[in-house]
Structure 1
Amino acid sequence: MPVASVDPANTSRRCIRCGHIDKKNRPRQDRFACLDCGFVEHADIVGSINIAHRAAENYRAQSTVPSAA
């Protein structure tokens, strides 16, 4: 499995549903609760999904394979 480095900035503060970023979205270390849309999830799950999405975006940006239009 390939490993990719991604910038971790705000991955634990960004809502995976609406994209809202706020330090207050993390009321506790283990809890994520979006102040904008109300989405609630375990903070580790939110962070890992954001990291996975960021890695996929980076991969697509570096891909040399033309996309089908």
Structure 2
Amino acid sequence: MPVSWTGSHRGVTLKLCEFAGAVRVWGNSKAVPVSEVPGTNAVDVTDQVRIGTNTVKVELSTTRNNAMKTTANWL
């Protein structure tokens, strides 16, 4: 993360776009509060990241039905 992203009225947002299911996010192994409502979500990860290199992990839990619909769309 560049230094220019820090300071008052600045922050880091992870845009998850659309998803169906529950999502969990971690920034540098610290859990990020995230809504579990399907839809379009942006997650504020400002408190979990630092200047320099960061690691972000996103885990999506979905039903088998959703997985099958997604697979069918790719065929």
Give TM-score scaled by structure 1 length: 0.24
Q: Could you say which structure has the greater relative contact order, defined with CA pairs below 8 angstroms and 6 or more residues apart? A: 2
Larger helix fraction of residues: 1
Bigger radius of gyration, 1 or 2?
2
Larger strand fraction of residues: 2
Give TM-score scaled by structure 2 length: 0.23
